[in-house]
Copies of this chain bind each other. A is one copy, B any other.
Amino acid sequence: MALYSNYSRYYIAVDCIIFGYDILEKDLKLLLIKRKMQPARGKWSLAGGFVKQNENLDEAAARVLLNLTGLSGVYLEQSWTYGDPERDPGARVFSVSYSALIKIQDINRELKESNGAHWQSMSNLPGLIFDHDEMVMKALTDLQMHIKIKPIGFELLPEKFTLVQLQNLYEVIHQRPIDKRNFRKKILSMNLLEKLDEKERETSRKGAWYYRFKRERYEKFRKMGFYFDLDVY
């Protein structure tokens, strides 16, 4: 008799909470699909899939993300595992949720459209199937905590950005205004931004300097025991 054969086996899925930031609309968005299988076919859903025999959880999530967006190598982190016996009316399915942070402009639009995926504003989400609303709220809470202590906000911005754009992102994620002076002082004091020799001129006549996140320097600092800290009010 095979080992463990007295025990039950279950389906295991991954579901991806794919965050994107719309820099013009100053809006945090979620990439959602209309579910293609029963039960709940046609309802709004996170992008997900069942874990295959030859892949681990990270690989399953990366596959789902790649198939929907054409993106790989982006920020994709395990968030939480859901296993209520009744969570999926189709069968007992455990789901491991993953948070992805992507740059909206990098997505493969044809893939996105052929998959029927849509960006929906976090401030105006439709109801999602099963426990997907809970997955999204948990991922947002984690994102609010993690952008204080890790430089992951830059995953959501273009390579070059202004300090106003960076502050806007933090304000949208934290869902509250942030003091400009305090924000600039904190972010600049960490010495992780490079001021570029170029200005953004579309939103004001005077223009605002573009900056770039110095990832290499952050990695070096981190190994020396430095902590990213952007806990701003």
Q: Would A94 and B94 count as touching, CB distance under 8 A?
A: yes
Q: Bin chain A's interface residue count.
A: 20 to 34
Q: Would B56 and A81 count as touching, CB distance under 8 A?
A: no
Interface residues of A in 87-109 (CB under 8 A from B): 90-94, 96
A93 / chain B contacts, CB cutoff of 8 Å: 4
Q: Would A3 and B55 count as touching, CB distance under 8 A?
A: no
Please, what's the 1-or-0 string for A76-91, where 1 marks a CB less than 8 Å from any CB in chain B? 0010111111000011
Nearest Cβ in chain B — how far from A176, in angstroms?
11
Q: Would A50 and B96 count as touching, CB distance under 8 A?
A: no
Task: Pick out which of these stretches binds chain B: A6-14, A24-32, A160-168, A193-201.
Answer: A6-14
Nearest Cβ in chain B — how far from A4, in angstroms?
5
Kindly identify which residue among B11, B78, B82 contacts A4, using a CB–CB cutoff of 8 Å: B11
CA distance A4 to B12 in the complex (A): 11
Nearest Cβ in chain B — how far from A15, in angstroms?
13
Q: Is the CB of A42 closer than 8 A to any CB of chain B?
A: no
A114 / chain B contacts, CB cutoff of 8 Å: none
